[in-house]
Amino acid sequence: MKKTYLIASLIIVALVAAGVAFFQGSVSGVTETERPGQQKQPPQVRAVTAMRSEISEALELTGSVEPYRVARLASPAEGPVDTIRVREADRVEANEPLLSIGRKKGVDAAIISLREELKKEEENLGRVRQLVESELVPAEQLDQASATHEKVRASLVKAEETADDYTIKAPWSGVVSLVHVKEGEFVAPRAILLQMYDPASLIIRASIPEKYATEVTAGMLANVRLDAYPDTAFQGYIDRVYPYLDSRLRTRTVEILLNEPVKLLPGMFARLTLSLKRAEGVVVVPLEALVSTPKGHVVFVFEEGKATARIVKTGIEADNRVEIISGVQSGDKVIVAGNEKLKDGADVRVTSDERSGSGKSKGETEPAVGKPGNAGDSR
């Protein structure tokens, strides 16, 4: 019985000791800022130095390699495909026969007949001319003979053109890209038979969103990467800007040429970066320095221990940086962290930031940020 009483007493003593220790720890854990009458410290912020640098706005797009000189060849004639002389990837010369259509015997016979008739009309015209010059027949007969001769000649020309419709020829030198028909297949008039393109006309075609449609101009530089050459970046420029927007997609088409000869194929995929705007020697700050207010964009500048609000006019935004046109000067210490709830003229403590969010200009050094003794980083 005594042993049980002793154990119970030890447990009670241990619990009382633990309670006293907890109470003392709670009292000693009160921070100085929580003690009555203690003065509250100014909020701590981080700042960088606004510096002059260069900045450019870029637009990233995708495009494809396409030929602008393409021929989709058809024929006014109808009939079975007689002979196909080319296949895809064949290089052809101007006026080279590519394909012929059968059932032209009637046209060939008509040409032979009209040539014989034209020969007779030429002989008759010569005889009538001699008789008129000898004043043996009236001049009206010469006019009739001439008219008959021209009528037969016109019929022969039309027949020869019809015969040419049965043979498809290359309009210019190029490469056959697609053959739509096979030998023996019956084709209707104006049906597309084959397609060809000019390799010298290959360009990179891309579509510009309407938002930037008025900012692109001919001659603008472009950085080009082709999936066919993954390890190479090519330089090019906008050669042509279409004068209208696609009514369905609301985009404006541009054509881009490369500065150096590159083996291209229609359909190649291209990744493009266009430099829309570029400014050098301008004041640039990190984008985090901007605070949106009903009056516009504001930047807080650290001056003599206080945060001074300045309404700024901004320019180019790129790579998490922004150009400041007015409101901030080079060398000003702009607050980039802890500025969300600041008020104009508020006391602040500044933490130095070794990096400059705007980049250093050549030959320019970054001055120290903040007051001595406040070198700790609150991050």
Residue ranges in the chain modelled with pLDDT below 70 = 1-39, 352-379
Cβ burial, residue 71 (10 Å; 0-12/13-18/19+): middle
Supply 222's token pair.
């472009």
Alpha-carbon separation of residue 314 from 61, 113, 325, 326, 331 (angstroms): 25, 83, 5, 7, 17
Q: What is the pLDDT of residues 256-290, one digit of tens each?
A: 999 999 999 999 999 999 988 778 888 888 988 88
Alpha-carbon separation of residue 355 from 140, 314, 325, 359 (angstroms): 102, 22, 22, 8
Q: Which residue has the tokens 């007689």?
A: 82
Please report, to the nearest 10 degrees, the dihedral formed by the alpha carbons of residues 309, 310, 314, 319 taken in order: -40
Three-class secondary structure of residue 237 per DSSP:
strand
Chain-centroid distance, C-alpha 56: 16
Q: SS3 string of 293-336?
A: ECCEEEEEEEECCEEEEEECEEEEEECCEEEEEECCCCCCEEEE
- pLDDT for the residue numbered 133: 83
- pLDDT for the residue numbered 75: 85
- pLDDT for the residue numbered 372: 36
Three-class secondary structure of residue 375 per DSSP:
coil
- pLDDT for the residue numbered 16: 56
Sign of CA dihedral 114, 117, 121, 127: positive
Domains and CATH numbers, the chain: 60-68+201-279 (2.40.30.170), 70-197 (2.40.50.100)
Which residues, at least 6 apart from 23, have a Cβ–Cβ distance to it below 8 Å?
A: none
Instruction: Return the DSSP state at 105.
Output: H
> Using an 8 Å Cβ cutoff, are 210 and 117 in contact?
no
